[in-house]
Amino acid sequence: MSQLLAVLIDGITYSSWLFIIAVGLTLIYGVMKILNIAHGSLYAIGAYTAASIAGHWLAEGYAPMGSYAMILLSAVLVGLIAGPLIERGLLRFMYGRDEIVLVLVTYAVFLILEDFVKLVWGVDPYFLFQPYGLLGNFDIGGLTYPNYNLVLFGAALLIGGALYWGLTKTRQGKILIAVIHDREMAGALGVNVGRVYLVTFTIGAMLGALGGALTAPMISVQPGIGVEVIVLAFAVVVIGGLGSLTGAALGAIIVGLVRSAAVHYLPEVELFSIYLVMAAVLILRPKGMFSAAEARKI
């Protein structure tokens, strides 16, 4: 029983983390039809920026609890700077091209940003471990868990809820959905499509950076962390259906729980488990679980 409980808690924690890192990717794809490989770099830059800003905050001896605000600030800063820079500076010239061209463009951005990270932060790892232990632990089923897990869970709920509310209940959300359905028609009706794209990409970039910033206290922030994440995030959004918010949430939950069960009951297959789920879903539903219906082209 306690093992099942551990599987659930570990699975939900991992799912929360997966959702946070994947949601920006699926949002950008859903609206702009761009599979943004540079999402991995935005995650890495978010982690580095958080390690630098929050690390500096702690080193200066300010209130340790303020480090959480610094983590948030880092994500906002990275999103506000990198998002418009990439979207206005490069992507807007590529709209209307084939999806694969845009994948290649964002892959190029990813490679450039990987080197940018090395240029700015060097190759030595950065640490920001204090916020991870600052909130203390909780005990359940004979195991100790850090309360930081609850922060991840709360952040995932908040992000998912806010996006859902924003998309379905607000005027801007409805405009966004109009653009998703028919970009040209929305434009003809007076929607500033360029601005919608800019805002969407900036929010997506911010979410990518937030994923990195929230992960920074749990890891050693070093070159290469973005590569690992983009593969996982891609698996999650493919399982859920590219561009679907609900799909990303369900994909994250399934992957998180399956991986956690594998670690506890059959650790030999842990590496394989995520891709097994992905393969099984794609066999049954080639476009993912929550992909939107598309008109067949003749």
Residues forming contacts to other proteins in the complex (CB under 8 A) are 2-3, 6-7, 9-11, 13-14, 17, 118, 123-125, 127, 129, 132-133, 137, 142-146, 149, 215, 217-220, 222-225, 227-229, 259-260, 263-264, 267-268, 270-271
Handedness of CA 116, 118, 19, 228 (dihedral sign): positive
Cα separation, 200 vs 182, whole angstroms: 16
Rank residues 99 and 228 by Cβ distance to other proteins and give the closer one: 228
Question: 3-class DSSP state for residue 259?
Answer: helix
Q: Least distance from C-beta 164 to other proteins, angstroms?
A: 25
Measure the CA–CA gap between 193 and 176, rounded to whole angstroms: 9
* β-sheet bridge partners, residue 146: 137
Q: 200 and 186 in contact (C-beta within 8 Å)?
A: no
Q: Which is nearer to other proteins, 13 or 49 (CB)?
A: 13
- Given the complex with other proteins, which of 6 and 109 has the nearer CB atom? 6
**Least separation in angstroms between CB 232 and other proteins:** 9
Beta carbon nearer to other proteins, 70 or 262: 262
Residue in the structure block whose two tokens are 């929360």? 16
Residue 225 CB, nearest distance to other proteins (Å)? 7
**Smallest distance, other proteins to C-beta of residue 16, A:** 10
Our CB check for other proteins shows the closer of 119 and 284 to be: 119
CB of 270 to other proteins, least distance (A): 7
Between CA 57 and CA 53 the distance in angstroms is: 6
- The sign of the dihedral angle between the CA atoms of 194, 200, 202, 205 is negative
Q: Which is nearer to other proteins, 2 or 168 (CB)?
A: 2
Q: How far apart are CA 79 and CA 42, in angstroms?
A: 8
- Token pair 């200066």 is found at 60
Instruction: Name the minimum Å distance from CB 178 to other proteins.
Output: 38
